[in-house]
Amino acid sequence: MLICLPPSEGKTPAPDGAAPVDLARLTAAERLTTQRGAVLEALASVSARDDATTVLGVGASLAAEVARNVDLKSAPAAPAARVYTGVLYAAAGLADLADDAARDVLVFSGLWGVVSPADLVPAYRLSMGADLPGVGRLATAWRPHLSAALDARAAGDVVVDCRSATYLAAWKPATTGDAAADWVTVRVVREADGRRTVVSHNAKHTRGVLTGHLLRRSGPAPTSAAELLDAARELDGQVIGTEVGTGLSYRMLEATLHDAATRRGPRTLEVVIA
pLDDT, residue 102, reads: 87
DSSP the chain: -EEEEPPPSSBPPPPTTPPBP-GGGSTTHHHHHHHHHHHHHHHHHHHTSTTHHHHHT--GGGHHHHHHGGGTTTSB-EEHHHHB-SHHHHHHTGGGS-GGGGTTEEEEETTTEEE-TTSEE------TT-EETTTEEHHHHHHHHHHHHHHHHHTTSEEEE---HHHHTT-----SSTT--EEEEEEEEEEETTEEEE-STTHHHHHHHHHHHHHHSSSPPP-SHHHHHHHHGGGTT-EEEE-TTT--EEEEEEEEEE--SSTTS-EEEEEEE-
pLDDT in tens, 18-57: 999 999 999 999 999 999 999 999 999 999 999 999 999 9
Mean pLDDT of all residues belonging to the chain: 95
How do the domains of the chain map onto residue ranges? 5-157, 168-273
Q: pTM (2 decimals)? A: 0.96
Q: Which of 1-5, 69-73, 238-242 has the lowest mean pLDDT?
A: 238-242
Residue 170's nearest CA partner among 192, 138, 206, 194 is 138
- Whether residue 201 is predicted with pLDDT greater than 90 in this model: the reply is no
Q: Write phi, then psi, for 3 (nearest 5 degrees).
A: -100, 125
Please state, for a pLDDT cut of 90, what percent of the chain lies above it: 89
Predicted confidence at residue 36, as pLDDT, reads 98
Pick from 124, 181, 99: which is nearest to 147 by CA?
181
Checking if the pLDDT of 246 tops 80, the result is no
Residue percentage of the chain with pLDDT more than 70: 100
